[in-house]
Chains A and B, each alone.
Chain A
Amino acid sequence: MPSTQNPPIAGTAIDPTSLRPKLDDAVVERISPSELRARLEAFKGDGYAMLLDLGAVDYLGREPRFDVVYHLLNLATHARLRVLCGINDGEHLRSVMDLWKSADWAEREVFDLFGIVFDGHADLRRIQMPNDWEGHPLRKDYPMRGNNAERSPRPAFANKSNVVAGTPPAGRTLEALQEQVRRARE
């Protein structure tokens, strides 16, 4: 059984988006980073007035490594468009905050969790993790538990009434256990 404690992090580095079956959820376009801005402006002019969502996927082991995924909606024709843009670690994308205001927090989240920088964003800083956090958690090479062990050590509170796990039984609990054993042996 694959252990949920140590999930494999890279998976098989194939590109699922090229193997997708014929689904009718959206029209899909894969656009390179250099053309992205122009094409998005064109889509907006074509009637895709709402940016539904802006997210990213880390395909560790694939070239390019990340996919930034834009979902656009044409309210008049009820058509959805998915734009996939593959970029590598360290490359920047142009922010679309000036085209659609909804991109503001979405780009901040992609920066926070994946480390993808959007040039031209008014205020690109972490949004989900604390400001002094190191690392980008949703990358495939970031451990599932992060650095939890260091950040939340178990302190010894002076007046703590509950028993620390692993402490052997004592006092009345020990007597009760010994009583049980005695009765079982009879």
Chain B
Amino acid sequence: MTQPIAPAAPDIVSRDGNTMVLSMGPQHPSTHGVLQVMLEIDGETVVKADPEIGYLHTGIEKTAEGLFWSQAQTVIERMDYLAPSSNALCYVLAVEKLLGIADRIPERAQTIRVLTMELTRIASHCVWLGTHGIDLGAISVFFYCFDLRENILDLQEAAGGARMHPNYLRVGGLNGDLPAGFIARLDALIEKFPGRMRELRGLLQANPILQDRTIDVGVLTQDEAIQWGVTGPSLRASGIAYDVRRAFPYTGYDSYDFDVPTRTQGDAYARFLVRLDEMDQSMRVVEQARRRLDVPGPVMIDDPKISLPPKETIALSMEALIHHFKLVSEGFRVPPGDVYQAIESPRGELGYYVVSNGENRPYRIRTRPPSMYNLQALKGLAPGNLIADLVVMIGSLDPVFGEVDR
């Protein structure tokens, strides 16, 4: 068996020859969460960077094995906590495939799922942009971004009940239809968005300091990106136009009209531009989804074995009462099998390999965490750069540690 190394104390500083080993993190303002990077540095230049993860390991996958299928969604949503509805979407799609009801999800539910997913993507990119700006010293961008995010969180709270982790998507559809006033607020956001994006671009895109700090920093070549398993905006900024929404369409994405922004330089500035463009494209999809919402319809599959009966019927119908009781106390059973379902989360290809053995609880949910694979690329990108560049690189790869560590 392999020998475990000595426990890494969180504040190692050791000198040997010309280089020094410095521990950056796990508590650090610029590591975007609990990341520890063991840096071997020569002055300010990084000779070797070894990221240490696991400081947020929550045992989500094991916890999900002890919960019902519908309960497991609550813990799964807390993996990528910047885009909770994207975790939820991937999970419900996987379970629906195993149940065999994937083609019976109502049209309106699919439209609202796309709407929620794209709004979540914009909200996640807002956090990325705000924190990336803070890392670079552009602190006022943070306030603009979080103001935009507040509008989106208000919509999520109205629809699902909570600002983050709304648990709005359910296996079979949604928890309920959109509340009154939602469409009006959504329209107001759609109205406000272009002006706000112009402001954000005006603040940063042509800013000489930002360009100095991000152009030619952290260049990820195509081969390296594929080797490290990088997906999402980081891959597309290196020139490979792989987007799961186009390659393996889900939830009706092939009926929406949107571009997949791609750049070729592969540096931090390219990743920056790709994400800004993605925010614009997401709003395009949101507008198209909004137009489809004018047609009313059911938002949950009509299957009493899977979806809860309407609350009004429980007092009147014996079957409804029994189904409600069974679903709440035992949950539904999913036929045995395994499936790999992937979606395009704001960070890249988020996949769940879900195994069911016929019970009412998941047997195994293996997550394919995009942030973990994106972050691994840091080992290849960091050497030869300054510590300040390392901060830019971590920000441009946009990791979320709830997902990296699970």
Chains A and B touch (C-beta atoms under 8 A apart) = yes
Determine if B338 is an interface residue (Cβ-Cβ < 8 Å): yes
Q: Which of A29-78 contact B (CB under 8 A)?
A: 49-53, 55-58, 69, 71, 75, 78
Q: How far is the CA of A52 from the CA of B337 in the complex (A)?
A: 20
Contacts of A126 in B (CB 8 A): 4, 54
Q: How far is the CA of A11 from the CA of B66 in the complex (A)?
A: 11
Contact A7 B361 (CB under 8 A): yes
Q: Which of A87-122 contact B (CB under 8 A)?
A: 100-102, 104-106, 111, 117
Contact B364 A57 (CB under 8 A): yes
Give the nearest-CB partner of A112 in chain B: B54
Contact partner, A7, options B8, B54, B66, B100, Cβ 8 Å: B66
Contact B226 A128 (CB under 8 A): no
Determine if B254 is an interface residue (Cβ-Cβ < 8 Å): no
Contacts of B338 in A (CB 8 A): 16-17, 20
Contact B229 A102 (CB under 8 A): yes
Q: How far is the CA of A45 from the CA of B2 in the complex (A)?
A: 31
Q: How far is the CA of A7 from the CA of B59 in the complex (A)?
A: 15
Stretch at the interface among A130-138, A168-176, A178-186: A130-138
Contacts of B227 in A (CB 8 A): 100-102
Contacts of B247 in A (CB 8 A): 78
Contact (A49, B226) CB under 8 Å given A11-B359, A105-B376: yes
Give the nearest-CB partner of B364 in chain A: A57
Contact B53 A105 (CB under 8 A): yes
Contact A53 B366 (CB under 8 A): yes
Contact (A25, B340) CB under 8 Å given A53-B351, A100-B227: yes
Determine if B228 is an interface residue (Cβ-Cβ < 8 Å): yes
Counting residue pairs across A and B whose Cβ atoms lie within 8 Å, the total is 139
Determine if B143 is an interface residue (Cβ-Cβ < 8 Å): no
Q: How far is the CA of A159 from the CA of B331 in the complex (A)?
A: 46
Q: How far is the CA of A11 from the CA of B357 in the complex (A)?
A: 8
Q: How far is the CA of A26 from the CA of B337 in the complex (A)?
A: 13
Contact B376 A101 (CB under 8 A): yes
Binary contact readout A1-32 vs B (1 if CB under 8 angstroms, 0 otherwise):
11010010001101011011101011000000
Q: Count how many chain B residues have C-beta atoms less than 8 Å from C-beta atoms of the other chain.
A: 60
Contact B356 A102 (CB under 8 A): no
Contacts of A125 in B (CB 8 A): 2, 4-5
Binary contact readout B51-84 vs A (1 if CB under 8 angstroms, 0 otherwise):
0011001010111011100010000000000000
Determine if B182 is an interface residue (Cβ-Cβ < 8 Å): no
Determine if B341 is an interface residue (Cβ-Cβ < 8 Å): yes
Q: How far is the CA of A1 from the CA of B372 in the complex (A)?
A: 36
Give the nearest-CB partner of B62 in chain A: A138
Contact partner, B335, options A21, A49, A58, A78, Cβ 8 Å: A21
Q: Least Cβ distance of B217 to chain A in Å?
A: 21
Determine if B339 is an interface residue (Cβ-Cβ < 8 Å): yes
Contacts of A17 in B (CB 8 A): 337-338, 355
Determine if B360 is an interface residue (Cβ-Cβ < 8 Å): yes
Q: How far is the CA of A104 from the CA of B379 in the complex (A)?
A: 11
Contact (A26, B340) CB under 8 Å given A71-B368, A130-B7, A131-B4: yes
Contacts of B4 in A (CB 8 A): 125-126, 131-132
Leading 4 A-B pairs by shortest Cβ distance = A102-B229, A7-B66, A20-B337, A55-B366
